[in-house]
Chain A
Amino acid sequence: MTNHQCEKLIEYFNGQMLEEEKEAFEKHLESCEECREELSEWEELSADLPFLSEAEEPPQGMKERVLTNVWNSEENKENTEAPEKEKDEEKNHSFKRPSPIWLAGTAAAALLLSLAGNGYLLSENQQLAEEREQLAEEAEQLALERDVIASDYEALLEEEEDGNGVADVLLASNLASADEALFSGEGSATIISEDGHVDLLVQVSGMPELEGEEAFQAWIIEGETPVSAGSFTIDENGNGAVRYRLSDMEDMQIDQIAVTLEPQPNNDQPEGQMVLASPQ
């Protein structure tokens, strides 16, 4: 016996039905032997296909993230969602990812900086000098990928030593893991002025491997609005860097610098998780 339900078998097989359609089809399955047979035939015919997948290494910290969200899914259900909505919810269940915490820094943030003026002079010379030394050490360890940036930076430091004062480190800040339990890696954000330009240099080290098209992306956060400061990848040692010209932006106020892990490079807005951030 054929009815219009039988024609939907393929849709059912590929999970292309809404919840009500699915229920209707499953009811039909109970009474339609032909469909049951055909369905098991499709299942058998495709049983080998999953093996075409290559063994991929799950991202670092995935287990903790997933299980945390599994446990939380219970709480969310009880706290925020009416139980009678369950069906609807399954259909519309959007893929929840941990939302990045763009904690807007209304309080005086470590990186609060107005680039409108010309106040390029260092106020905390000594501390910055130390940080610069540390950065220079890191610069020495830079891999090939970063050579361009590294040599810029070294040139910059040399100029400083010459006392020409062409370039200045305006601010330096550490970038720490947003959640050390989940993500290894650290970095630094340095804002330098050189030849009338102001650049942001973000350097990272000890970052976990990227997969597929993934890329890290640096963001300048002003209030709650992240502005991309460029995507970058890392070398086999987990080191990477990106340089961004701040002086092209007008009157930019920086509340925070952050690095996210994005599914693909050059996003306009962050899609992935925040992995490193400067202190609030």
Chain B
Amino acid sequence: MEKHEDVQLYERIRAKDEAAMEMLYDKYAKLLYSFAYKMVYNAAGAEEVVQEVMIKLWRGKGIYSEEKGKFTTWLLTITRHTAIDYLRKQKKTTEDVIHQETEHEDSQPGTEELVEWKHRGERVKEAMRTLKEEQRLIIDLFYFKGYSQKKIAEKVNVPLGTVKGRIRLALKHLKDELYEERRDWQ
């Protein structure tokens, strides 16, 4: 149902329906902003990333179809790529700073999506804690910083040929940890 609603919105946006664009913004801006913020780590940058994503949607860059999976997943992928692009273009990327997971004070999650987001976030964070330090670092560099395998190899000081395997292994550990929860969600 959720999916269907999003696809309808998306189709209306393709037909240049401004009201649909605004509805999509209202529905996803906070999620995308939070995700972009996690990646670029500054408010102005996160806003630019969200803006870029919205412009891509409006101008029909990148076509969504239901074979590509959930609309939300697709939207997050676009956001992640846009954020990686932003990071690459930022000359003064603070490459050496690995941001600590800070405990935020509760910001009141408004919509249903945000409540679910928060709930899932707790579980994923718990699962992350079971990983080795190096695995957490690799996931951060790969997924949130968009580092190439070569850069990861340099940063973590492991042979280039092993990077892909290490990323995959780290993600698999995480997934195994989350297996039970995953069944609940689906």
Encoded as 1 (CB less than 8 Å from any A CB) or 0, chain B from 107 to 143 comes to 1010000100110110111011000000000010011
Q: Which residue of A lies closest to B163 (CB)?
A: A10
Total interface residues on A, using CB and 8 Å? Answer: 50
Given A57-B107, A271-B44, is A70 in contact with B21 using a C-beta cutoff of 8 Å? yes
Question: How near does chain A come to B151, taking the closest CB pair, in angstroms?
Answer: 11
Stretch at the interface among A45-53, A114-122, A136-144, A251-259: A45-53
Report yes or no: B146 in contact with A15, Cβ–Cβ below 8 A.
yes
Q: Does A101 belong to the interface (CB within 8 Å)?
A: no
Q: Does A3 belong to the interface (CB within 8 Å)?
A: no
Question: How near does chain A come to B36, taking the closest CB pair, in angstroms?
Answer: 8
Most chain B CB atoms below 10 A, which of A52, A212, A261: A52
Complex contacts, B101 vs chain A, CB 8 Å = 52
Report yes or no: A45 in contact with B172, Cβ–Cβ below 8 A.
yes
Complex Cα gap A47–B75 (Å): 12
Q: Does A248 belong to the interface (CB within 8 Å)?
A: no
Most chain B CB atoms below 10 A, which of A14, A48, A74, A90: A48
Most chain B CB atoms below 10 A, which of A16, A71, A95: A95
- The dominant DSSP class at the B interface is helix
Complex contacts, A93 vs chain B, CB 8 Å = 52
Question: How near does chain A come to B37, taking the closest CB pair, in angstroms?
Answer: 5
Q: Which residue of B lies closest to A40 (CB)?
A: B69
Complex Cα gap A10–B167 (Å): 11
Question: How near does chain A come to B156, taking the closest CB pair, in angstroms?
Answer: 15
Given A15-B81, A261-B44, is A49 in contact with B139 using a C-beta cutoff of 8 Å? yes
Q: Does A77 belong to the interface (CB within 8 Å)?
A: yes
15 CB < 8 A contacts A-B: A14-B146, A15-B77, A52-B101, A52-B144, A55-B34, A55-B118, A56-B38, A63-B29, A66-B50, A69-B51, A70-B54, A94-B89, A97-B44, A213-B41, A214-B42
Q: Which residues of A contact B (CB under 8 A)?
A: 10-11, 14-16, 43-59, 62-63, 65-67, 69-71, 73-74, 77, 90, 93-95, 97, 210-214, 261-264, 271-273
